[in-house]
Amino acid sequence: MIHQICSRPISSASSRREFLYGLGASLGSVAMTNMLAKEAAPSILQNPLAPQAPLNPAKAKNVIMLFMEGGPGHMDTFDPKPKLNQLHKSESKLAAGLETGFKFFVGSPFTFSKVGQSGIEMCDEFQYLRDPEIVDELCNYRGCQAESLNHPEALFHMNTGSRLGADPALGAWATYGLGSSNQNLPGYVVMTENALPQGGSRNWSNGFLPAYHQGTALRPTGSPILDLQSQGYKSRAHQRAALDALGYLNQEHASHHPEHADLAARIESYELAYRMQMEVPEVVAIDDEPEYMKEMYGLNDTDTADFGRQCLMARRLVEKGTRFVQIFSGGWDSHDYLERGHRARIRSVDRPMAALIKDLKQRGMLEDTLVIWTGEFGRTPDNNKRGGVYSIGRGHNANAMTMLMAGGGVKAGSIVGATDEIGAEAVDVKHPIRDFHCTLLHLLGLDDNKLTYFHAGRYKQLSQFGGKVIQELIA
Amino acid sequence: MNSRIPLTLLTGFALSSQALAEFSDEDRHFTLKVLPLLTEKCFGCHGDPNQKLKGGLDMTSLEKLLHGGDNFTNVLVPGDAEASFLMTTVRWDDEDYEMPPKENDRLDEKQIADLEQWINSGATWPEESVQEKIYLAEREREVTDEGVLIKTSGGLADTWTYRRYQAEDVWAFRPLDRSVEPVAQSAHPVDSFISAKMEEAGVAKAPQADARTLLRRAYFDLTGLPPTPEATESFLTAYAADEEKAWTDLIDQLLDSPQYGERWAQHWLDIARYADTGGMSNDYERSNAWRYRDYVIRSLNEDKPYDQFIMEQIAGDELADTSLRKRTPDWDQYQTAREEGHYSEKEAELLIASGFLRMGPWDPAMVKVEEARQMYLDDVINSVGQTFLSTTMRCFKCHDHKFDPLPARDYYRFYASFATTQLAERQAPFLEVEERAGFEEGKELVEELLSYATEKKDELFNKQEDAAKAWYAERGKPYVTLEERKDLPDEEKPPRMVGLDHIEQGRLKVREQDVWIWTRRLERYQPMVQSVYNGPDSKWANARKLRMNTKGNADWVPNSTILSGGSIEAPGVPVTPGVLSALGLPSPTASESDPYKLPEDQFGRRRALAEWIAHPDNALTARSIVNRIWQYHFGKPIAGTPNNFGVKGAKPTHPELLDWMAADFVENGWTFKRLHRLIMTSDTYRQSAQHPDFDKLVNGDPNNDLFAYFPVRRLTAEEIRDGMLQITGELNLAQGGLPARPEINMEVALQPRMIQFSLAPAYQPSPTPEERNRRSVYGYRVRGMADPFLETFNQPNPNDSCAVRDAASVSPQAFTLMNSDLVTDRSIAFALRLEKEAATRDEQITRAFQLALGREPKADEAAKMKDYIAEMENYHQDSHPTKREYPTKITRTLIEEFSGQPFQYEEILPVFENYQPDTQAAEVPPATRALADFCLVLFNCNEFVHLY
């Protein structure tokens, strides 16, 4: 997390402005490009997470990203490959992938249907998502290509634009560019399953962006944020008294140090913490939701309750002003027992994500909330033997994958791009991950080429070296 | 307009055979300034024959430019820049046509002016033969108004090779400039340079800081710990008697303390990316990585000359093996000695030092072996470049450097100098000085965990094999073991994991993983060192076990080439090992035809490279380290980007001072302690953080580039934790050895964490407070699981080299310092100490201020705090803290990869069976809890967490 304060040519002017507004140089990193390009009022410097107007007209204001860790098989979810069923268990000579030795093709264990007016293809394991009301909101993108065949690198790539695990995550760039509209809640929230995904918190790191932009992990159990609440024997009044005593000492001290503007920022961070102590528990208290809502998200079913709770929480967070929410759902890495594995995973996410889209739509939030469902890569059409047995599963595939999107200005009810007839490789509207990232920023009204941060001698950007907006995805 | 073209061409043609002086200014301007600009910034989208033209505009000839694009015909209006739409686009005046569209590529003012001048003077476009002649003539002139030529080993194209640099941009590649010496009258050389700048700016320097401030500054700076009240008192007395002597004595005393090395090693480890694990999918432990950590601490405490420090870290293994070879003439015996680690103490130390080359995250799992190899080499040379030369190497891997005089050829010559370097855990006896406390206990714990995992695994395995036996029996066939039946066809053997349900299948996998995790953990107790050796590339790699191959062909050398676009699929021109040519500093093995060449044998490449880096005339090396040392003292470097001195890095605020100090450092034996003394005895270091003319400075020098007052900084994560522990009296100053396992947030300690195929075992802290409350530099650093307290306070991610710590104030810091068990326990310990050392509330308050802030409380502060404690004492009459429970086992839930269904298993936490927790709130009376509340407030206050 090397963070070098903006030192672009105009830095002295900007630092002066920060200074005049009573804040430290460490706050100087508010989307500088944005600000300077548009000469925004300096008052927004007062808070690095203050909401900011996007550079361009935005389709989406918020993002909810459902991350299927492990890599769902595209040919087992939204991109049927009947050819594979014909080839099932026959020898595969494909060179890609990491599997070695005798390889054979694997047909999907699932049946598929075209659903909705748009005829989006979907495996029949999806029971809820096929609801016509939802399905015609979806955009299925089949052209994205990853680069890494290994989970953490591929996760880092999809989440941060770099395979190295040290760069800012998508959500960090989003809050850097747009701020967040509720100052009592984190602007970028991450929820994981029981276990952290491979690579851990590097997947939602602020990287070289200032620490304000780091993803806040809402923990699945225990305190939603580490040490959010004071020790059990200390009441809120006790907390207030402590903050007041602290405030007294800090005030005394600050009066002797006008040169050190960061003191004020630190005092404010304590007050924000105090407010978050109230607001965060409220937003995670989903028991307040009406029964039909809990039912809709699948909270009453043990198989869907965890992901359902997180999807419901995501909606509540976005409603309250959180900019970017990410939910990680693991277990998609079906090298074997594909049918059992994918069936269970699909079941665990189907109902909650259908409910999320429906709920957002009913509340009129879908048009400015971009929902994304993706893994870190797709899966291979073939597999090798494991323990000497034909294992019906699939390897990692960086050349093809599948994504679902809804809302936020994407082309509803459409299938964009295509993979070849066995799903080995994307062949149409083929784009690397960086183009997907540029598109995401574009939908948020941001321009990857303009949303930059000067670090270690270079203006850095999410796509690393620039990319293209995938126009076909945009409504 | 059209009539102008032939005329221009004709003019160009007529001049083509003339000498340089006779080329028109316009032709020269176009050829040398405009065309390179258009080529670099425009032709990619408007003239690449392999790409679709953007907007239908081709800019590669005057004719095409005049024709315009799909939407505009007025792209270029010769003679009228204002009417030319080209100017609108490069100025970014039209939101829809900002060109080039990337922030990084945007034209600067001078480039815009060049274009403008070109258009206004008629948009001359001489033909290629004229351009060629102008180029050739130009190459003969080293310095022109366009800038300077820098001779390198050559770029991929002549335009790169002969491009010019602004002299001030390439400052870092130039020899040290000793033309400015400190003013003789000045009391101190550092102040001489700093004052000169301030006088120029008409700014007076800040007054000297008071004695207490100086003391706290020096303590944190040199040891990372606050001064004790006793140290404060004795310093104040000495300072009153003789300021100068007291100050220099203090510096000497602190530099002599072992805590100096611990503190400054942390800076180095940030750059080197120290961690105890390898990161990526498996996050394997790097057994005994701590030996490198202790080597760094030792080297700093011994004041090892920096040139030696460089040599050892880049080529320690080569130096050790050269020494071993000298006394072991028989080749086979030599190889056996290497394998078995028959190294002397001195040689073993060298092997430990080479651990620097093993600090990056790396795991070849699921990566093709050639790619994994490239990942390592790219990483290690970037690390060497950033660390020692302040040069970000990865910027010229795929192409010649966009801004710096660093050709891709040099990248691959540097790369070649590591191309025989192989990764290995090597045998090297433990040194006399290496701390081996905790080996026995640690081993016992690991063995317990291993035997539990083995037992559970065997149970499931036996169940599976019983089912397999039954399967064979049913078919009347003889039983075939798992190993033997592996390759039989499906029909001739029982199904995989027969007899186990999905829960048992999941559990078997977890237990199998655990067995080898704990087996491997036992490596910790062997005299192993993370190191490298020279040898041939191997056909496979697994980070789980990396051993030296002494049987490899000792004559093997790799075919090194430039990799086009950085891809191993696209080998280009062959290269030999070599150093960076832009410095003009020959390598120690230079030849007449190739001054930058390094040895081409398998052995000895890195040693020669290290000698070049550590050469007294290597200006990058000297500037790099001196800049870093300055930065750690002031929290602010002289050259703003310490890991990148390139053209786009920040320029030094005081180049003369930097060069003078660098030269002085090298001439006087490369010693750090001498440099610390030099910097710390200056008035600049000793000045106050407050400035009487502050309001004026805010406008004139908002970033304090003049160093007109001492820059305030927040304490680092480690300083906060170690400082608290010292203040409470809990800090254990034991040095070195196995990674310490402090208590961390229990939710994080027990939180499941994915590794390839399984979950990582839970984090178990050390059982006793003494073991836990060691200095933070000794803490166990797991790449996949940061210590949440330290991470919250910006301990850097060890996946990337950190030159400057972040210190932004964010709310999670408030949560941690106000609410965590960790800090609450510290506040209780602090309160207990105060009660022991002071009888009355007033005395306790005074003592608390002395310990935490190094000063007495002011009367109103004391009164206010006394009221607060009284109020809290009242509150705690009715508060009911509970004692924390430490689980001795934990139930894990994991989603089984095969079934996609969750399953559970039990993990044991034997450490908590005989755990000695810190004293907790539930164990102390209300009065102590109230006092602790005040202690907690002190740990949170701005004065404690900042250094003035």
B382 Cα to chain A: minimum distance (Å): 13
Residues from chain B that touch A196, judged by Cβ atoms under 8 A, are: 751-754
Check whether A451 has a pLDDT greater than 90: yes
Is there a contact between A1 and B797 if contact means CB atoms under 8 Å apart? yes
Give the nearest partner residue to B799 out of A12, A164, A452, using CB atoms.
A164
- 3-state class (DSSP) for residue B135: helix
| Region of residue B850 (phi > 0: left; psi between -120 and 50: alpha; otherwise: beta) | alpha
Q: Which residues of A touch B934 (CB under 8 A)?
A: 245
Q: Tell me which chain B residue has its CA closest to the CA of residue A49.
A: B810
Distance CA B200, CA B154 (A): 41
Chain A positions in Cβ-Cβ contact with residue B367 (cut-off 8 Å): 148-150, 153
Work out the average pLDDT over B228-249: 98
Whether residue B898 lies within 8 A of chain A, CB to CB, comes out as yes
For residue A6, what pLDDT band results from cuts at 50, 70 and 90? Answer: very low
Which residues in chain B touch residue A151, judged by CB atoms under 8 angstroms apart? Answer: 281, 366, 756
**Contacts of residue B493 in chain A, CB cutoff 8 Å?**
388-389
Q: How far is A119 from chain B (nearest CA, A)?
A: 28
B911 and chain A in contact, CB less than 8 A: no
- Residue B425 to chain A, least CA–CA distance (Å): 24
Higher pLDDT, A48 or B138: B138
| Residues of chain A found within 8 Å of residue B900, distances taken between Cβ atoms | 331-332, 334, 337, 340-345, 348
- Position B12 scores a pLDDT of 37
User: Which chain B residue has the Cα nearest residue A223?
Assistant: B747
Residues of chain A with pLDDT > 90, as a percent, come to 60
Judge contact between A435 and A462, C-beta under 8 A.
no
Instruction: Judge whether B802 is closer than 8 Å to chain A, CB to CB.
Output: yes
Average confidence score pLDDT of chain B: 92
- Has residue A87 got a pLDDT over 70? yes
Does B528 or A208 have the greater pLDDT score? B528
Average pLDDT value for residue range B447-466: 96
C-alpha span between B601 and B111 (Å, rounded): 47
State how far residue B604 is from chain A, nearest Cα, in angstroms: 30
Compute the count of residue pairs across chains A and B with CB atoms less than 8 Å apart. 321
What band does A15 get if pLDDT is binned at 50, 70 and 90?
very low
pLDDT at position B4 over 60:
no
pLDDT digits 0-9 by tens, A285-304: 898 899 999 999 999 998 99
Domain boundaries, chain B: 4-140, 189-256+618-711, 305-430+527-613, 439-525, 714-947
Which chain A residue's Cα is nearest to B698?
A16
- Substitution target from A8, A227, A390 for chain B, most B beta carbons within 10 A: A227
> For residue B30, is pLDDT > 80?
yes
> In this structure, what token pair is assigned to residue B134?
């102008």
Contacts of B875 in chain A (CB under 8 A): 235, 237-238, 241
Average pLDDT over residues A111-121: 95
| Better-predicted residue by pLDDT, B818 or A35 | B818
Map out the domains of chain A as residue ranges. 62-221+287-473, 228-284
The minimal CB distance from A19 to the residues B361, B698, B945 is found for: B698
Structure confidence at residue A365 (pLDDT): 97
Interface contact flag, B902 A194, Cβ < 8 Å: yes
B858-881: pLDDT as tens digits: 999 999 999 999 999 999 999 999
Structure tokens at B702: 């908002």
Mean pLDDT of B633-654: 92
Q: Which letter does DSSP use for residue B105 in this model?
A: G
User: Cβ contacts of residue B68 below 8 Å, gap of 6+?
Assistant: B57, B74, B75, B76
The stretch B789-814 carries a mean pLDDT of 89
SS3 label, residue B666? helix
Q: Which CATH superfamily is domain A62-221+287-473 in?
A: Alkaline Phosphatase, subunit A (3.40.720.10)
How far apart CA A175 and CA A170 sit, in angstroms, is 9
The pLDDT assigned to B53 comes to 86
> B340-396, pLDDT tens digit by residue?
999 999 999 999 999 999 999 999 887 889 989 999 999 999 999 999 999 999 989
Q: What is the DSSP letter of B562?
A: E
Q: Is the pLDDT of residue B784 over 90?
A: no
Taken in order B644, A147, B544, B416, the sign of the CA dihedral is negative
Q: Is B793 on the interface with A (CB under 8 A)?
A: no
- In this prediction, residue A422 carries a pLDDT of 96
d(CA B95, nearest CA chain A) in Å: 10
Mean pLDDT of chain A: 86
Cα→Cα distances A474→A140, A408, B206, Å = 12, 9, 58
Task: Provide the chain B residues 697-726 that lie in CB contact (below 8 A) with chain A.
Answer: 698-699, 702-703, 709, 712, 714
pLDDT at B707: 96
Inter-chain touch B810–A212, beta carbons under 8 Å: yes
Which residues, numbered 352 to 381 in chain B, qualify as contacts with chain A under a Cβ-Cβ cut-off of 8 Å?
361, 365-368
Shortest CA gap B602–chain A (Å)? 30
Q: Greater confidence, A354 or B44? A: A354
Q: Is the pLDDT at B22 greater than 60, yes or no?
A: yes
Does position A47 have pLDDT exceeding 90, yes or no? no
* Distance between B773 CA and the closest CA of chain A, angstroms: 21
- Taking an 8 Å cut-off on Cβ atoms, the answer to whether A331 and B900 are in contact is yes
pLDDT 10s digits, A130-152? 999 999 999 999 999 999 888 88
What is residue B907's three-state secondary structure? Answer: strand
A50 pLDDT tier (thresholds 50, 70, 90): confident
Q: Residue B292 pLDDT more than 90?
A: yes
- Cα nearest neighbour of B933 on chain A: A242
A46 has pLDDT over 70: no
Q: pTM of the predicted model, to two decimals?
A: 0.85
User: Which pLDDT value is given to residue A35?
Assistant: 33
Residues in A closer than 8 angstroms to B827, CB to CB, are: none
Look at residue B3 and tell me whether its pLDDT is greater than 60: no
Locate the chain A residue with the closest alpha carbon to B865. Answer: A245
3 state SS of B736: coil
Does the CB of B157 have a partner CB in chain A at under 8 Å? no
Share of chain A above pLDDT 70, in %: 89
Confidence of residue B789 (pLDDT cuts 50, 70, 90): very high
> Considering only alpha carbons, which residue of chain B is nearest residue A149?
B366
Q: Rounded to whole angstroms, how far apart are CA atoms B354 and B610? A: 12
What is residue A214's predicted lDDT score, i.e. its pLDDT? 87
State residue B898's pLDDT score.
Answer: 66
B813: distance to nearest CA of chain A, Å?
A: 8
Secondary structure of chain A in the HEC alphabet?
A: CCCCCCCCCCHHHHHHHHHHCCCCHHHCCCCHHHHHHHCCCHHHHHCCCCCCCCCCCCCCCEEEEEEECCCCCHHHCCCCCHHHHHHCCCECCCCCCCCCCCEEECCCCCCEEEECCCCEEEECCCCCCCCHHHHCCEEEECCEECCCCCHHHHHHHHHHCCCCCCCCCHHHHHHHHHCCCCCCCCCEEEECCCCECCCHHHHHCCCCCCHHHCCEEECCCCCCCCCCCCCCCCCHHHHHHHHHHHHHHHHHHHCCCCCCCHHHHHHHHHHHHHHHHHHHHHHHCHHHCCHHHHHHCCCCCHHHHHHHHHHHHHHHHHHHCCCEEEEEECCCCCCCCHHHHHHHHHHHHHHHHHHHHHHHHHCCCHHHEEEEEECCCEECCEEEEECCEECCCCCEECCCCCEEEECCCECCCEEECEECCCCCCEEECCEEHHHHHHHHHHHCCCCCCCCCEEECCEEECCCCCCCCCCHHHEC
pLDDT tens sequence across B706-732? 999 999 999 999 999 999 999 999 999
Interface test with B, best of A69, A182, A226, A469 (most B CBs within 10 A): A226
Pick A231's closest partner by Cβ from B804, B819, B902. Answer: B819
State the pLDDT confidence band at A467, using cuts at 50, 70 and 90: very high
Calculate mean pLDDT across residues B315-336. Answer: 96
Contact B948 A257 (CB under 8 A): yes
H or E segment and range at residue B440: helix B439-474
pLDDT in tens, A405-421: 999 999 999 999 999 99
Residues of chain A in contact with residue B279, where contact means CB-CB under 8 angstroms, are 165
Residues of A in contact with B751 (CB under 8 A): 195-196, 219
Structure tokens at B211: 């004695």
Strand blocks (E) in B39-176: 143-144, 147-149, 164-165
- Global ipTM: 0.87
Q: Is the pLDDT assigned to residue B804 strictly greater than 70?
A: yes
Is pLDDT at B247 greater than 80 in this prediction? yes
Instruction: Spell out the long-range contacts of B108-112 with Cβ–Cβ below 8 A and sequence spacing 24 or more.
Output: B111/B37, B111/B41, B112/B87
Distance from CA of A449 to the nearest CA of B (A): 5
**Interstrand relation of A324-329 and A188-191 (parallel, antiparallel or unpaired):** parallel
Task: Tell me what pLDDT residue A387 has.
Answer: 65
pLDDT band at A259 (very low <50, low <70, confident <90, very high): low
- High-pLDDT (> 90) share of chain B, %: 76
Whether residue B740 is predicted with pLDDT greater than 80 in this model: the reply is yes
Instruction: Say if residue B92's pLDDT is above 80.
Output: yes
> Is B367 within 8 Å of A214 when comparing Cβ atoms?
no
| Mean local confidence (pLDDT), B671-700 | 93
Q: Using an 8 Å Cβ cutoff, are B226 and B726 in contact?
A: yes
Residue A30: predicted pLDDT: 35
Pairwise CB contact (< 8 Å): B948 & A165: no
Under DSSP, the state recorded for B597 is B
